Amino acid sequence: MVKAVVGANWGDEGKGKITDMLSKEADIICRFQGGANAGHTIVNDYGKFALHTLPSGVFYDHTTSIIGNGVALNIPVLFKEIKSITDQNVPMPKIKVSDRAQIVMSYHILFDQYEEERLGGKSFGSTKSGIAPFYSDKYAKIGFQVSELFDEELLQEKVVRICETKNVLLEHLYHKPLIKPEELLKELHEYRDMVAPYVCDVSAFLYEAIKEGKNILLEGQLGSLKDPDHGIYPMVTSSSTLAAYGAIGAGLPPYEIKQIITVCKAYSSAVGAGAFVSEIFGEEADELRRRGGDGGEYGATTGRPRRMGWFDCVASKYGCRIQGTTDVAFTVLDVLGYLDEIPVCVGYEIDGEVTTDFPTTAKLEKAKPVLKTLPGWKSDIRGIKNYEELPENCRKYIEFIEQQIGFPITMVSNGPGRNDIIYRNK
């Protein structure tokens, strides 16, 4: 059985915690897109971890962690991450890296920085991890696939070709130092030696695993609104964030994905530029940011303060629909316990008309939030295990949002830990 854990919004919804929790029942956890540009924060028996490349299921002995072909594979980051978890006494995980994954090169990271510098105030707010240049090269067919690391003749020819194209841009567009074929070759050899023990024909491995009835979890990065096709283009990421892409980015049949768990946070946060209709500012935002997540809403990779907002029913209804949601995991609800009243965005006003349909970007820029205020519950809900024991106003908040987004909230997360979860039978 294959399940996917994906985000409904701008990312940072708490997918890491839900994946870590569901990994208990999983045999294989697979990353299928994105790279080391975003992170998941996980709190479990071993401590607190920020993962960027490894799937959030690496903490169990019984699981295999897979980096699928759709991932932007940064090999030094992967190794640093393995070391950071084993240094904290997590047993060495079983890792497989797809032979079809492509490699983030040091020049991708440089180009990302140079392009942000060039764009100045008009930049996309990239994390400068090389993700956009990486995926551009993948689709321009000048990327390095893991399998190619083992073909010396190909590498020697290709590094010369890559330097020719890259150096034109470095010299004339960015006015930066040029790159040399022998340096690239050295970098690739290092990567080859590091990754060699883990290389695997992942789609064949997963095909067999499905036949054997294994439980496979696909872990998405970011959320629906950052999808290059269905998100807030161009303020999006460079690979699809949708569960459907799990089939491609891991290499398994689309019809095998039986459950799509879309993670939705009880309020909104976003990083980077782009329209954010329910955004709040000033002291109101600072307080929510301070209290949010587990130790504040700051980027797991960059430490950047996140932009904050109230729950957005319009964006979340759309975000859940485009994922193909079967279940919603509603997270970080405990954080809202300090509020007397909780505003929720229930519609967008665009050119004088109110809609609950999420628009394309130009219209989204004009949208103003239509807010409805719900009463708060003014108490700490951490530690509660049964839905019926939640305060009445808290249940009303969940049920109101469930009705607005139109997808069943079957899990409510009321704390960062593995066991802070309330299951609802829907």
In the bound state, the residue with its beta carbon closest to ligand GDP is: 16
Using the rule CB under 6 A, give the single segment among 4-12, 98-106, 282-290, 354-362 that binds ligand GDP.
Answer: 4-12
Using the rule CB under 6 A, give the single segment among 10-18, 85-93, 125-133, 319-327 that binds ligand GDP.
Answer: 10-18
Using the rule CB under 6 A, give the single segment among 37-45, 113-121, 201-209, 352-360 that binds ligand GDP.
Answer: 37-45
Q: Which two tokens stand for residue 291?
A: 């209290």
List of residues 6+ apart from 417 with CB closer than 8 A:
17, 43, 44
In three-state secondary structure terms, 18 is: helix
Q: How far apart are CA 163 and CA 168, in angstroms?
A: 8
**Least Å distance between CB 219 and ligand GDP?**
9
Task: Give the length of the chain.
Answer: 426
Residue 35 contacts ligand GDP per CB under 6 A: no
Q: 306 vs 271, 285, 303, 376, 411, CA distance in Å?
A: 5, 10, 9, 23, 25
Binding-site string for ligand GDP from residue 275 to residue 314, where x marks contact by CB under 6 A and - marks none: ------------------xx-----x--------------
Catalytic residue among 40, 52, 108, 230: 40
Name which of 268 and 414 has its Cβ closer to ligand GDP. Answer: 414
Known catalytic membership, residue 12: yes
Name which of 40 and 96 has its Cβ closer to ligand GDP. Answer: 40
Residue 414 contacts ligand GDP per CB under 6 A: yes
Task: Give me the phi and psi of 367, to 5 degrees please.
Answer: -70, 140
Q: What does the buried/exposed string (b/e) look like for 359-390 if buried means 16 or more CB atoms within 10 Å of the residue's CB?
A: beeeebeebebbeeebebbeeebeebeeeeeb
Q: In this structure, how many other beta carbons lie within 10 angstroms of the beta carbon of residue 145?
A: 17
Q: Is 12 annotated as a binding residue?
A: yes
Across 243-337, where does the E strand assignment appear?
257-265, 268-270, 279-280, 307-309, 311-312, 327-331
Using the rule CB under 6 A, give the single segment among 8-16, 89-97, 194-202, 362-370 that binds ligand GDP.
Answer: 8-16
**Least Å distance between CB 74 and ligand GDP?**
17
In three-state secondary structure terms, 370 is: strand
Name which of 158 and 265 has its Cβ closer to ligand GDP. Answer: 265
Site for ligand GDP (CB under 6 A): which residue of 4, 14, 66, 369? Answer: 14
**Least Å distance between CB 16 and ligand GDP?**
3
Q: In this structure, how many other beta carbons lie within 10 angstroms of the beta carbon of residue 418?
A: 18
Residue 57 contacts ligand GDP per CB under 6 A: no
Known catalytic membership, residue 40: yes
The answer to whether the CB of 394 falls within 8 A of the CB of 406 is no
Residue 331 contacts ligand GDP per CB under 6 A: yes
**Least Å distance between CB 347 and ligand GDP?**
26
Q: For residue 422, what is the DSSP state?
A: E
β-bridge partners, 394 = none
**Least Å distance between CB 14 and ligand GDP?**
3
Q: Is 122 annotated as a binding residue?
A: no
List of residues 6+ apart from 257 with CB closer than 8 A:
2, 3, 4, 218, 243, 244, 246, 247
Q: How far apart are CA 54 and CA 57, in angstroms?
A: 8
Using the rule CB under 6 A, give the single segment among 36-44, 138-146, 183-191, 358-366 that binds ligand GDP.
Answer: 36-44
Q: What does the buried/exposed string (b/e) look like for 269-305 if buried means 16 or more CB atoms within 10 Å of the residue's CB?
A: bbbbebbbbbbbeeeebeebbebbbbeebbbbbbeeb
Binding-site residue numbers for GTP are 11-17, 39-41, 306, 332-334, 413-415
Binding-site residue numbers are 11-17, 37-41, 127, 141, 237, 300-306, 332-334, 413-415
Active site residues: 12, 40
Binding-site residue numbers for IMP are 12-15, 37-40, 127, 141, 237, 304
Q: List contacts with ligand GDP (CB under 6 A).
A: 7, 11-17, 40-41, 43, 293-294, 300, 331-332, 334-335, 413-416, 420
